[in-house]
Amino acid sequence: MNSYYAANLLVYAGVDIIALLALNLQFGVSGIVNFSFIVFQAVGAYAAAILSMPPDYAQGYDFQVYVGGYQLPFPIPWLGGAVAGGLLAIPVGLVVLRKLRSDYQAIALLVLSIITNEVITNARPFLNGAAGLALVPPPFSDVIDPNTETYQYFYVAMTAICVVLVFVVVNRIVNSPYGRSLRAMRERELAAMAIGKNPVQLKMTVFIVGGVIAGLSGAILVGFIQLWAPSVWLYPETIILFAAIIVGGRGNNVGAILGALLVPVGFEEVTRFIPSSFGPPGLIPALQWVAIGLLIIGFLWFRPEGVRPEPRHVFEGAPVREDLEDARAT
C-alpha cells in the first residue's frame, strides 16, 4: 500500500525531527551529553499508552498487565506524554547534572538507560515487561477508522503540526540571548559562571524542556504504531540520534532536521531495499549498527562540525569582511 508506506515514512520522519530538535537543544547547543535520551521518548510513549488504553483487566485476564488504563481521549495522552517526559527530567537532572563533570554525566545517563530498560523488562506488572503494551488506541479512533487512508493522512497532518510547533519553540530558544548563554556555557562553563550564568539552572531547564519534547515524540509515535516494548527503546537507539546530530550538524536546528532526514530516516530507507534474505538472519540490522558506528567515527574524524555546521551569528550593522573563517569544531 503506497499511501501507508508514505504515511509511515512521514510520521517517522516527523517524530525523528522532533526528537532531534530536542536532543540538539540538549547536546548541540548546551553541551549536555544525554545518553539516556531514548528513555524520555519511552516514558512519553508509555504515558500516552496507559492514558489512552482501557484498564488491563478489560482485555481479558492476564493478557497484558500494566498500570493505568484511563481511556482518555486526545489530546490528553499526548499532553500526558509530554508532561511525563518533563517530569522524569527533574529527578534525573537533579541527580546527574549538578556536580558531575561532563563525561561522568554522560556515563551515568548511559547506564541509566541500560538499567531502566532492564528494570521495565523484568517488572512485568508495571508496564507488561518484555512484551510491552499492544493495542494502543490511536487518537480519535472512535471517530475515524484508523485503518483508512484518510486517517493516515490525518495523522501525518497532526504530526506535522507538532513538528512546526516544536520547531518554533526550539528556534526561539536557540536564537535568542538565552540560547547564547547556553552556548557560552557549552563552550566554557567556568567562564560562563564568571559572567553571572547559573549553569545548574540552565542545564536543568534545557533538560526538562528537552524531556517534554522527547515525551511528546514518544506519544506521537506510540499513537501511530499502536505498540511499545522495551526492545523499541534499547540504549543504542540514543546512539542513532547522536549519530544524526553529529552527521547533520551540531548546535543548529537545520542541522538537526538534516540529521533526522539523513540518519534515522535515510538510513532505514536505503537499507530497506536490500533483500532480507541476504546473509544469516539478523545480519542486516547488525550491519546497520556497524554502519552507524562507522558514520559516527567517520564524521568525528573528517567533519566533526557536521554537514551543516553551526552558523555564525552576524549582527546587523557589522563591518563586512571577505575572509571570515568557519568554525573549528571538535
Partner 1 sequence: MLAQPEVAVAANRPLLVADDIHRHFEGLHAVDGVSIDVPPGQITGLIGPNGAGKSTFLAVLAGTLPATGGTIVFDGVDITRQSAFRRARRGIVRTFQLPSEFARLTVLENLLVAAPDNRGDSLVGALLGKRYWIEDERRHTRVARELLARFGMSAKESDYAGNMSGGQKRLIEIMRALMLKPRLLLLDEPMSGVHPKIVLEIQRYLQDLRAEGLTILMVEHELHMVERLCDSVVVMAQGKVIGSGTMASLRRQREIVDAYLVG
Partner 2 sequence: MDLYVAAFGFGLVGMSVIAIAAVGFTMQFGITNMINLAYGEVMISSAYVAYYVNKAGVTIWVGMIAGALFGAVFSFLLNRFVYAPFQRKGTSHIGMVIVSLAVSLMIANLLLPIVGYYSVSYQDTTGGLLRAGGIVLTTNQIAIIGVAVVLMLLIHGLLRYTRLGKAMRATAANPTLARNCGIPTQRVIDAVWLITGALCGLAGVVAAMNSDSFAISNGAGFLITALAAAVLGGAGQPYGAMIGAVIIGLVTELSAAAWAPEYKEVVAFGILVLVMVLRPQGLLAKRGALAAAG
Residues in contact with partner 1 by CB under 8 A are: 169, 172-173, 175-181, 183-184, 187-188, 190-199, 205, 209, 251, 310, 312-315, 317-319, 321, 324-325, 327-329
Among candidate residues 159, 149, 223, 221, the one with its CA nearest the CA of residue 1: 149
Query: How far apart, in whole angstroms, are the C-alpha atoms of residue 306 and residue 329?
Result: 9
Interacting partner of 110 out of partner 1, partner 2, none (Cβ under 5 to 8 A depending on kind): partner 2
Query: Which residue's CB is nearer to partner 2, number 74 or number 242?
Result: 242
Long-range contacts of 282-291 (CB under 8 A, 24+ apart): 289/236, 291/267
The overall longest dimension of the chain from CA atoms, in Å, is 73
Query: Which residue's CB is nearer to partner 1, number 56 or number 310?
Result: 310
Q: Minimum distance between the CB of residue 191 and partner 1, rounded to whole angstroms? A: 4
Among candidate residues 215, 298, 226, 209, the one with its CA nearest the CA of residue 262: 298
166's grid cell: 516544536
Count Cβ neighbours within 10 Å for each residue of 189-228 and write b for 16 or more, e otherwise.
Answer: beebeeeeeebeebbbbbbbbbbbbbbbbbbbbbbbebeb
Residue 114 binding partner 2, by CB under 8 A = yes
Q: Minimum distance between the CB of residue 302 and partner 2, rounded to whole angstroms? A: 11
Residue 35 binding partner 2, by CB under 8 A = yes
Residue 241 binding partner 2, by CB under 8 A = no
Q: Minimum distance between the CB of residue 161 and partner 1, rounded to whole angstroms? A: 18
| Residues 212 and 162: beta-carbon distance below 8 Å | no
The residues of the shown chain that bind partner 2, judged by CB under 8 A, are: 33, 35, 95-96, 99-108, 110-112, 114-115, 118-119, 122, 189-190, 235-236, 239, 242-243, 246, 279-280, 282-283, 286-287, 289-290, 292-294, 296-297, 300-301, 304, 330
